[in-house]
Structure 1
Amino acid sequence: MLGLAVGDALGAPAENMKPSRIRERWGRIEGFVADEPAGTDDTEYALFSGLLLAEHGSELTVAHVEAAWHKWIANLDEGPFRGAGFSERGTLENLRRGLTAPISAQHRHAWSDGLAMRAAPFGIYAAGRPAEAARLVAVDGTVSHDGEGIYGGQAVAAGVAAAMVGRGTDAVIAAALSVVPEDSWTARSLRRAVSAAQRALFDPDATRLSRERTVRSGVVVGGYPWMDLAPEAVGLAFGAFAVARGDFRNSVLTAVNMGRDADTTAAVAGALAGALGGVAAVPAEWAAAIGPARGSCLPSMAGQHVLDVADLLSPDTEGETP
């Protein structure tokens, strides 16, 4: 959870940028470039799902998820609702119209990375059980996503579940691929990303920049107008994780500097690398910058800290909600 929040805050300024624009503005991002770094909707929705899972555990149902969306989001005065993705807006519109799951997920952005960005808590809760993590995140995602949007969340949850028990980068990737259909766009994107990462790693003349370009070119759909589609974002995140061999700093910085939906790709890469390396893998100066959520996207999450929610997901504290 800390890795997710750090990646989110690092990537937020570069969201929707091309690598050339990032280099033009900052050179290469090597740390926080915002004066007051903070998480975006990625962190706050992960907190939302983490609290929901801590309350219900393996007994989580679609009805529980729907009720939480209404209680913590849809029934509140949203104000400007800054930072919400298209999939979340579409879901809220449908819920407020009285629609229920799975119909609530029938909007134009059900394939977005909005589930993938909040999938890490399921891998933490189901540590060492990728299939269970994938099952639970699909329950959560039924309210807001469909098809590739679900698959992206499952890949992330399963990968984090494997990383939590130190299975190594190759096993983490294998766990992610094991829970999504082999012929899905998500699986193809993951395989392309990992293949590109392997080519980059075994190229003796490769530089950091060329490795990023190799991974990015293996995944990004050129000319596609949306940057938050799950297969691409999840592919880039796993590609960054693979080319960095799970090293936290390199995983998140690779994701950030590839641009596109940089806050989400870095959040997912950070969740994977953080689960693998633990809190100690996160640079202390980055960890210290992460405070309680500001509620800039979800006012109901204001004051929640990712580490506190992570503690709630451990078996001995399951069911306790602050």
Structure 2
Amino acid sequence: MDNRSRARGCLAGLAAGDALGRPAEGMEPAEIAERWGRIEGYVADTPLGSDDTEYALLTAKALLRYRGDFSAETVADLWQQEVCGQEGAFAGSGFSEMAAIRNLERGHRPPRSGQHAHSWSDGLAMRVAPIGIAAAGNPTEAARLAWEDGLVSHAGEGIYAGQAVAAGVAAAMGGADAEGAYAAAVDVVPADSWTARCLRTAHDVVAAAPDWETAARQAVDRLAVHTYYWADLAPEAVGLTFTAVLVGRGDARETILNAVNLGRDADTIAAMAGAVAGAMAGIEAIPEDWLAAVAVAPGVCLRTTKGMHPMDVADDLAELAAELQVVS
């Protein structure tokens, strides 16, 4: 399997997971089961991705523009030039991103721009799949680049979670299986971090559970923070993401559906799981009837991404990966 297929699978998995999970966002697994049974495909009349897909495209734009000069400073430049001051609402944009945008508009540069009350969200983790593609086969480099991207909008656990996803995608792009992607993810974050603990909990749950239903129930019971107002805590979301990845064992369809049916921040969890599994299995493994949602970005959240197509972006990122490997 070549990098182009893996890159396309990664971004198609992300966009499809985003669209599949969107109707289940904020729901508990029992609520999903009561309403739909097990979600096995699109349940919305017009399936469409959300901020997860558009922020991933924004990271891709930064990578493709700055290439070997990608850093917190250059990413902040892009945000200030093309995101700050955007006309119209940032439809669906998360608290962490909006706080960072306001900080940048006030003149705060990284890391100050990412130091705010929502710096622990999964907003970085949802957008780093393009970094994993660009650093194909090099999880350590993926984690470094995710750190640079993260300084613009996040801090602490929010950055660790992003590093874990970027490393998992990079490992998958290099041919790793589900266990290998998990190992890469846990290896790049501090061992005593909340993110690492959630990743290890996910692995323990999957190893001990006799079936998916048991794994899903125990993962949500042990990882979900029900005392908080929202389900976007980065360590929780990344732990649930790798629960779906480990149970899916490289099957992109099953991995994404597993993630969707976990609920919680379902669109983001499914987008992240879809990115990892899509990179493992390639574009051929993404069901054809899901590809309708892998379409030109409407720019409803980020105007600067309007007109970008995930598959064109994936091709460009695969070429960038080859270029960066030659340079290194």
- TM over 0.5, yes or no? yes
Q: Does 1:50 align with 2:60?
A: yes
In structure 1, distance between residues paired with 2:152 and 2:45: 36
Superposed counterparts of 1:25-174, under 5 Å: 25-77=35-87, 79-174=88-183
- Equivalent position of 2:3 in the other structure: none
In structure 1, distance between residues paired with 2:224 and 2:208: 17
- Equivalent position of 1:8 in the other structure: 18
- Equivalent position of 1:17 in the other structure: 27
In structure 1, distance between residues paired with 2:63 and 2:218: 37
Shift in Å at residue 222 of structure 1? 3.3
In structure 1, distance between residues paired with 2:107 and 2:132: 31
Shift in Å at residue 75 of structure 1? 2.7
Decide whether the 8 Å contact of 2:225 with 2:231 is kept in 1.
Answer: no
Q: State the one-letter code of the partner of 2:180.
A: A
Q: Does 1:209 align with 2:213?
A: yes
Shift in Å at residue 318 of structure 1? 6.0
In structure 2, distance between residues paired with 1:87 and 1:271: 21
Q: 1:285 aligned to 283, 289, 295, which one?
A: 289
Shift in Å at residue 214 of structure 1? 2.4
Q: Which SS does the other structure have where 1:17 is aligned?
A: coil
Decide whether the 8 Å contact of 1:57 with 1:318 is kept in 2.
Answer: no
Shift in Å at residue 135 of structure 1? 0.4
Decide whether the 8 Å contact of 1:44 with 1:297 is kept in 2.
Answer: yes
In structure 1, distance between residues paired with 2:123 and 2:215: 27
Q: Percent identity?
A: 54
Deviating 4+ runs (over 3 angstroms) = 315-319
Decide whether the 8 Å contact of 1:6 with 1:270 is kept in 2.
Answer: yes
- Equivalent position of 1:240 in the other structure: 244
RMSD between aligned alpha carbons?
1.4
- Equivalent position of 2:316 in the other structure: 312
1:145-166 C-alpha deviation (Å, 9 max, x unpaired): 0000000010000000000121
- Equivalent position of 2:256 in the other structure: 252
Q: State the one-letter code of the partner of 2:300.
A: S
Q: Does 1:267 align with 2:276?
A: no
Using the TM superposition, name which of 39-48 and 191-200 deviates more: 191-200
Q: State the one-letter code of the partner of 1:86.
A: F
Q: State the one-letter code of the partner of 2:242.
A: F
1:138-190 C-alpha deviation (Å, 9 max, x unpaired): 11110100000000010000000000121111111111111100000000000
Give the paired residue count.
Answer: 313
In structure 1, distance between residues paired with 2:103 and 2:213: 43
In structure 1, distance between residues paired with 2:301 and 2:106: 21
Structure 1 runs not aligned, ≥5 long: none
Decide whether the 8 Å contact of 1:54 with 1:318 is kept in 2.
Answer: no
Q: State the one-letter code of the partner of 1:93.
A: R
Decide whether the 8 Å contact of 2:138 with 2:174 is kept in 1.
Answer: no
In structure 2, distance between residues paired with 1:284 and 1:144: 35
- Equivalent position of 2:206 in the other structure: 197
Q: 1:221 aligned to 212, 215, 225, which one?
A: 225
| TM-score, normalised by the number of residues in structure 2 | 0.92
